[in-house]
Amino acid sequence: MRPLPELTPENTAFWTGGAQGELIIAFCGDCDHAIHPPQLVCPKCWSEAVEFKTVPGTGTVYTYTVNHQPWMPDMPVPFALAVVDLDGAPGVRVTAEVVNTDPETVRIGQAVRVTFANVDDVWFPQWEPAQ
Amino acid sequence: MTLNAAITGVGMSDIGRKTNRPAILHLAEAVKRALDCAGLTKDDIDGISTYPGKADNSPGMSPLGTGEVRNALGLKTRWHSAVPDGPSQMAPIQVAAMAVATGQARHVLCFRALTESSSQTATRRASIPGAGRARLGGWYSYLVPANAMSASNWAGWMAQRYFHEFGMTREHLGLVATGQRAFAQKNPSAVMRTPLTMDEYLGARMISSPLGLFDCDVPIDGACVVIVSAADAAKDCAKAPLTIEAMGAALGSQETWDQRTDLTTMGAHDSAADMWKRTDLKPADVDMLALYDGFSIFVPYWLEALGFCGHGEAKDFIAEGNIGPGGRFPVNTGGGQLSGGRLHGFGLLHEACMQLWGQADGRQVADAKVAACGMGGGFIAGSMLLRRD
Ligand SMILES: [Zn+2]
């Protein structure tokens, strides 16, 4: 059973946007800086006018790994984990499992799009090939 | 430049896998050996320092706190520190150096104790952050729930990107692993001492690509102690003091493993740059290196961070034979954590000190006088230059 994140004012939009099929990222309302992991103050200008905005949900694989080790007893392996540079949120990467493809085919530079997996009150972003 | 602090003694317990020996017994053994090494008694110890402090939610990962060690060993300390957030596994050494340099203590007992091997079961791994907790917070709550549970995965991302940019291959990392194994064969206290060939390295099962079994350090049970003393107090000790020439620390990027802008660098680059600013010594003055090798890929990162070669050049530097037995800049001459076992950097410091004291039997680097030490992976890092005059 995978551990779940505790939901907080700064991260609830990120973890629950998937209920509407949306990937939601925190942005500064004053200077438009994209903030991830999300927080309630802009690290660039210290504005508290943080907004949560839907981004396209597409991106490019910056790096990845294929995990072969079952870290928990019920963990199916192998699976790929990708760190993805996000379209529409400069400087932000979202790290997630890659699904709906052979893990061994994942490559740096690959275009991916988001999909979600729901567990309890959390919608995990996951990546799948964009084409 | 010279800090008013020195290492005067080190001690390591008999380490092993699945020893089922309580942590305090491992530690007591290491403390006794460190005191003997320094020519001190327990009453001389007036400070105690550890990383990260007692971790009740992570069995075996950090089973001892400063207070219970003080109680158990009857120490008369007045200064203490436990550092979960700090310049890596080197934090307790760096904090102790500052304590003795500012007159708050004379001889600080810095320790790391683990019973990680005995605590590991089929369903429980101490190394998974937040293991056993119902809901996670903090930076790893963006990784662990995504099934990126292990530092193996996070280091795998770094290695994959580095391979992509600079053409490193698994054979290069294999030279790190087999080279350190060759050192371990000459170190009676290393846990992995059978020969390791490149074919065995390449044929081992994958953990998190491109990192396989022999790219990962080995969980063990054991303890290690480093005594940090004020410079004037160090003169009365049994051995030549190992002066701390300079230190560097860094939290030079976001506190997560996946958001650093360039994952072909890590916190090491920030801390190493800080360290070199504070000394006239240069990499060419260094005789041996103690580099954190939680994963083999950290070694080339540290070599580049410390300026032993340029960015992207570590694969050639390694292939030229610089870091293994007989090399110009031998790294982790006791076998490192890949073959010696994971004492969170303390074992590497132990080896560096033994080399500088000329006591690394069978693997001694001739006339070693300066050691460069780098601890940490990902965003955390601490660096230190040790010098025997
Ligand atoms: Zn702002």
Is A62's CB within 8 Å of B256's CB? no
Q: How far is CA A126 from CA A22, A79, B4, B130, B258, in A?
A: 12, 12, 52, 22, 16
Which of B136, B210, B263 comes nearest A3 by C-beta? B136
| Structure tokens, B331 | 């790294």
Residue B216 gets which letter from DSSP?
Answer: B
Integer angstrom CA distances of residue B174 from B150, B315, B328: 21, 11, 19
Residues A48-97: pLDDT tens digits?
999 999 999 999 999 999 999 999 888 999 999 999 999 999 999 999 99
Q: Count CB atoms within 10 A of the CB of residue B118.
A: 22
pLDDT greater than 70 at residue B132: no
Enumerate the residues of chain B whose CB falls inside 8 A of the CB of residue A3. Answer: 130, 133-136, 144-145
Share of chain A above pLDDT 70, in %: 99
Does the pLDDT of residue B366 top 70, yes or no?
Answer: yes
A-contacting residues in B 228-257 (Cβ below 8 Å) = 256
Give the phi and the psi of residue A95 in degrees, each rounded to 5. Answer: -100, 125
> Is the minimum CB–CB distance between B258 and chain A shorter than 8 Å?
yes
Q: What is the pLDDT of residue B1?
A: 60
- A6, A64, A97 member nearest B147 (Cβ): A97
Q: Does B266 touch chain A (CB under 8 A)?
A: no
- Distance between Cα B324 and ligand 1 center (Å): 49
Q: How far apart are alpha carbons B270 and B262 in whole angstroms?
A: 12
Q: What is the ipTM of this complex?
A: 0.97
Does pTM top 0.80 for this prediction? yes
Task: Name which of B184, B58, B67 is nearest B115 in CA terms.
Answer: B58
Q: Which residues have C-beta within 8 Å of that of residue A105, sequence separation ≥ 6?
A: none
pLDDT, mean over chain B: 94
Q: Are B109 and B45 in contact (CB under 8 A)?
A: yes
From the candidates A7, A11, A83, which should be mutated to test the interface with B, based on the most B CB atoms within 10 A? A83
Average pLDDT over residues B300-317: 98
* Residues B297, B304: Cα–Cα separation, whole Å: 11
DSSP B19-55: ----HHHHHHHHHHHHHHHHT--GGG--EEEESS---
Q: Let me know: does B2 contact B281? Beta carbons within 8 Å.
A: no
Average pLDDT over residues B226-239: 97
- Residues of B numbered 114-133 whose beta carbons fall under 8 angstroms of chain A's beta carbons: which are they? 122-123, 125, 128, 130, 133
Asked if A37 and B263 come within 8 Å (Cβ–Cβ), the reply is: no
Alpha helices in B231-294 (DSSP H): 231-234, 267-276
Contact A18, A124 (CB under 8 A): yes
Could you give the 3-state DSSP secondary structure of residue A60? strand
Q: How far is Cα of residue B292 from the mean position of the Cα atoms in its chain?
A: 5
Considering only alpha carbons, which residue of chain A is nearest residue B136? A5
In this predicted structure, the answer to whether residue B133 has a pLDDT above a threshold of 80 is: no
In angstroms, rounded to a whole number, what is the distance separating the alpha carbons of residues B340 and B352? 14
Q: How far apart are CA B27 and CA B18, in angstroms?
A: 16
Tokens of B25: 């017994």
SS3 A42: coil
CA dist B348 → A108, B114, B290, B294, B345 (Å): 34, 15, 5, 11, 5
Nearest to B302 by CA among B250, B370, B367, B227: B250
More confidently predicted of B134 and B189:
B189
